[in-house]
Structure 1
Amino acid sequence: MTPKSVDDYIQEGIYGAKEIHREERGVFLSTFRERVELALTIGQVIAPNIYPQVENVLKVQAQAGLEMLLNGTIAYPHLSKYIKLAEQYKAPFTIVQNEEKETSIGLLLAHKTAVDRDEIFIRDEMFQREMEH
C-alpha cells in the first residue's frame, strides 16, 4: 500500500473519503450483495402480511449477528410489522435513507461478513411484477 500524497488528502477533504462499491451499496441499502441473506422488494414489504421466510431466517440466525435493513422511502406503517418482528427476535434494524440512489429493495437481512447466497430474493408474483419494470 502506497502512502497518501498531499493530493490524496486534498481530494478527500473536498469530496470525502473514497467509498468501495458505492453503486452496489446504494442498491443494497448500504451493504454489499455478498452479505445479504434475504431480500424483499418494496412491494413485498408493503404487502399486508409478513413474509414467513423473513421470520424463519430471523428465528434461526438473529443471534448470529444478522441485521435488518429497511428502505426509508417506505411509509412507516408498512415497515412497523417488520420492525416488531426484528424486536421480537432481538435483531438490530436500521431504516436506511438514501436519496442518492433509487432501489427497488425494501428490506434486507444482512450479515456483517460475506455469505454469498446464490439466491437472495423471494421470487413470487409480486417480485415478478416489480422486476419487469
Structure 2
Amino acid sequence: MSRKNVDDYITEGIHGVRLPKEDERIRFLGTLRERVVIALTIGQVMSDSGLEKLEEAMQQHPGTRLIMNGHVAYRFLTEEKALATKYNIPYTTITNEENNTDIGAVLTYDHAIDKEEIFIKEEEAEEENEEEKKEKTLRSKIKNWFR
C-alpha cells in the first residue's frame, strides 16, 4: 500500500475521501452496478415504458429498495412510487447537483448480486408501447362503433 503525501491529504480535505468506483456510484444514483437488479433510464421513467419490468423485478426481489433520480419531475415518478408502496419496497429520491446521469430509477440491494443484464432493451420498451397504442386504437374504434 502506498503512503499518503501532503497533496493527498489536501485533496481529501477539499473534496472528501475518494470512494472506490466513484464514477459507477455517480451513474447508478449512489449505488454500485453489482447491486442493481434493474435500471431505468430517465426516458423510460418519463414515458412509463419500463413499469411492467420494474413491477416484475419488485415481485421477484422483495428485499430491495428503489432509488429515483431527483432531477426527474415529481409527476413522472408517481407510478414508480406507487409500485414501491404496493410491494412494500422503501424508496428514496437522490438529487446530486454536481453530477448528471442518464439513469432515472434503480432497484437495488445492499449487497452484490452481479446480475448480468440490468437494463431494459429499448426494443422491449417500444414493443410494450406499441401494444398499448394498439390496445388504445382498438378501444377507440369500438367506442366509435357505438356512438
TM-score, L = length of structure 1? 0.80
Q: Is the 8 A contact 2:81 2:91 kept in 1?
A: yes
Q: What residue ranges of structure 1 are gaps of 5+ in the alignment?
A: 129-133
Q: Residue 122 of structure 1: SS of its match in structure 2?
A: coil
Equivalent residue, structure 2, for 1:39: 39
Q: Residue 29 of structure 2: SS of its match in structure 1?
A: coil
Q: Is the 8 A contact 1:50 1:82 kept in 2?
A: no
Residue identity (%): 41
* Amino acid aligned to 1:23: D
Q: What residue ranges of structure 2 are gaps of 5+ in the alignment?
A: 127-147
The CA RMSD measured in Å over matched residues stands at 2.4
Larger CA Rg, structure 1 vs 2: 2
Q: Is the 8 A contact 1:43 1:127 kept in 2?
A: no
**In structure 1, how many angstroms separate the alpha carbons of the residues matched to 2:24 and 2:107?**
16
**In structure 2, how many angstroms separate the alpha carbons of the residues matched to 1:86 and 1:42?**
17
How many residue pairs are counted as aligned between the two chains? 126
Closer/same/farther in 2, CA of residues 48 and 112 from structure 1, 3 Å limit:
closer
Q: Is the 8 A contact 2:45 2:104 kept in 1?
A: yes
Deviation at 1:2, TM superposition (A): 8.2
**In structure 2, how many angstroms separate the alpha carbons of the residues matched to 1:49 and 1:104?**
15
* Amino acid aligned to 2:73: A
Deviation at 1:95, TM superposition (A): 0.5
**In structure 2, how many angstroms separate the alpha carbons of the residues matched to 1:58 and 1:14?**
39
Structure 1 range deviating more: 93-102 or 37-46? 93-102
Per residue, is there more helix in 1 or in 2?
A: 2
Please list the CA deviations of residues 44-78 of structure 1 after superposition, one character each: whole Å capped at 9, or x if unmatched. 1111466211111112212x2x0101011100000
Query: Which structure has more RCO (C-alpha within 8 Å, separation ≥ 6)?
Result: 1
